[in-house]
Amino acid sequence: MKVPTYILLCALSTLVTVMLPSVSVADFFKYKDNSGNLIITNRFEDVPKKYRNRVKVVWDKDLAAKDPVARRSAAALEQYEKQEVSKKVQQQAEGKKDQSKKGKTLVYELDEKTDQLIRRYE
């Protein structure tokens, strides 16, 4: 019995999708051992059974908020995004200026009294 090609393609794409790792917010498990050391792991299986009742779940974003490097990176990204937005606004404003000047000719004049160069569109 011959299986249609589209069924094979669907099965293959489903298999590939299932096999790819999914991107999600990771959680971490933290606990203190008997010596008072703080231990953080991303696998619950790594926590010894005697400490599992002490485990606190910490979300990835919570850890990033406490990490100075992550805070600096987030601040730099935010500043970059603000600069990009201001560039877009400036480019749009320049585009509007250019549109208002379309079909007009740039004329230069010299003011004889002040010796200043005057530019205007006609």
Q: What is the pLDDT along the chain (122 residues), one digit of tens a residue?
A: 676 777 777 777 776 665 654 444 557 888 898 998 888 888 888 889 999 888 888 877 666 667 677 778 788 889 999 999 988 888 887 776 666 666 778 888 888 888 888 888 77
Q: What is the predicted pLDDT for the residue at 22?
A: 44
Question: Which residue intervals of the chain are DSSP H helices?
Answer: 5-19, 60-66, 68-100
Q: What is the predicted pLDDT for the residue at 104?
A: 78
Q: What is the predicted pLDDT for the residue at 75?
A: 84
Helix (H/G/I), strand (E/B), else coil: 45 = helix
Six-digit token string for 114: 């002040």
Q: Indicate the Cα dihedral angle 77, 78, 84, 86, nearest 10°.
A: -160
| Residue 107 CB coordination number (10 Å) | 10
Taking the C-alpha atoms of residue 54 and residue 44, their distance in angstroms, rounded to an integer, is 12
Sign of CA dihedral 26, 31, 37, 41: negative
Six-digit token string for 105: 């000719």
pTM: 0.33
Six-digit token string for 60: 């990835």
Number of residues written out for the chain: 122
Q: What is the predicted pLDDT for the residue at 113?
A: 83
